[in-house]
Amino acid sequence: MTITLDDARALDRDDSLGRFRDEFLIGDDPVAYLDGNSLGRPPLRTLARVEDLMRREWGGRLIRGWEDGWLELPEQVGDRLAAASLGAAPGQTVVAESTSVNIFKLLHAACDLRPGRDEIVATDTDFPTDRYLVESVAAARGMTVRWLSPDLVVGVEPEDVRAALSERTAFVLLSHVDYRSGALADLPTITALAHDAGALAVWDLCHSAGAVPLALDADGVDLAVGCTYKYLNGGPGAPAFLYVAERHIGAVRQPITGWWGVADRFAMGPTYEPAPSIRVMLSGTAYVPGLVAVDASAEVVAEAGLEAIRAKSVALTSLCVELADAWLEPHGFRVASPRDPARRGSHITVRGPGARAVADAMTQARVIPDYRNPDMIRLGLSPLTTSYAELWTALDVTRRIVEER
């Protein structure tokens, strides 16, 4: 027997993270929001921090704000985010630009760190921006791409990566969590395999940061990137993060050689002198409101703790699978995410006939899912804001929609 709404409400009462919902701006519309994996909800303290920035720091201090502390924000917010969610010591992370721009920087940096190697290993199922950038960097650098085509539900497996690696591989670029099915890659094993071949491991953490605990330092990751507006709740278009392992700082170079990446910005020197720190990855003037928003949301994640967040994520995705099996499967919608919680991130994908129309009907009923072509409805469960009752209600509404069709 599947659980009732009362059971779901009881789970909410016992939820140790339940109080964090009060940290967010949550109204009556929508009735259920299952798209926090694309855009997280706004933390209340972000509203307060951004308003304070606008009124007191920008309005009150004007240009003096840069000297008061804005200049250091990309590294400072990077360090705080790294401590809260990346398992990375200070001095290796900056928050700046978009994920796409940071991927461009890191892929060129990876080529330069492995001169003489002319192959890239990546997946042809990755998020479009990752694939497009692999192609453009490969073309610019005269490299060949060894494309892997992992199974949707299983995701990329260490054996597939091992088979593609050779002494020609410069780097492997992979997404930690598959944006389609939520399949979680074995990051430590694949990173070690890349190193055995003398290659670098570059990880896209867009769908894991803030939902899956990470240990970038302990796992020996070389370079990583990820966005802050999904499970990290930094807000639409919030600046992304970029990580370079300490052992590469000093040697690492990047292609957008702007004045924010030099050793002494205000020397205004005749030539580009790269900073001997993670600052070398910066390019131009930081967008301060975005950094302040990321800082505030990283603070909420730090207070909740990634272990507790992961535990709730596993409980939510497990309940989602149970309800989808019971209520949607009889109507031709099957779960296309790993059944073992240890092998998935924080969203569950269901596929079935007329998925586009079903997703539209859900949105009409003010239950917001996420839809991806050709037939995938993604149910994103954001542990700090998704309640068990909200999940139950969303699946109940979806059940009625597929029953009527």
Q: Given the residues 20, 24, 33, 127, select the one marked as catalytic.
A: 127
Told to check if 224 binds ligand PLP by CB under 6 A, we report no
Place of tokens 């054996």: 159
Number of Cβ within a 10 Å radius of residue 6: 10
Told to check if 129 binds ligand PLP by CB under 6 A, we report yes
Q: Which CB, 172 or 328, lies closer to ligand PLP?
A: 172
Tell me whether residue 266 is one of the annotated catalytic residues.
no
Told to check if 104 binds ligand PLP by CB under 6 A, we report no
Among 77, 183, 227, 294, binds ligand PLP (CB under 6 A): 227
Residue 191 in marked binding region: no
Burial of 378 (0-12, 13-18, 19+ CB in 10 A): buried
Told to check if 313 binds ligand PLP by CB under 6 A, we report no
State which H helix or E strand residue 148 sits in.
strand 144-148
Q: Please, what sign has the CA dihedral across residues 360, 205, 49, 63? A: negative
SS3 state at 146: strand
Among 46, 85, 92, 175, binds ligand PLP (CB under 6 A): 175
What is the distance between the alpha carbons of residues 231 and 41, in angstroms, rounded to a whole number? Answer: 9
Residue 128 in marked binding region: yes
Residue type, 122: A
Told to check if 207 binds ligand PLP by CB under 6 A, we report yes
Told to check if 127 binds ligand PLP by CB under 6 A, we report yes
Tell me whether residue 105 is one of the annotated catalytic residues.
no
Which range in 82-90, 96-104, 318-326, 382-390 contacts ligand PLP by CB under 6 A? 96-104
Q: Which CB, 236 or 250, lies closer to ligand PLP?
A: 236
Tell me whether residue 378 is one of the annotated catalytic residues.
yes
* CA 352 to centroid of chain Cα atoms: 26
Task: Judge whether 224 and 245 are in contact, CB under 8 Å.
Answer: no
User: What backbone torsions phi and psi does residue 377 show, to the nearest 5 degrees?
Assistant: -100, 120
Told to check if 178 binds ligand PLP by CB under 6 A, we report no
Tell me whether residue 229 is one of the annotated catalytic residues.
yes
SS3 state at 119: strand
**Residues placed in the known binding site for pyridoxal 5'-phosphate:** 99-100, 127-130, 204, 207, 229, 259, 285
Which residues are at the interface with ligand PLP (CB under 6 A)?
A: 98-100, 127, 129-130, 175, 179, 204, 206-207, 227, 240
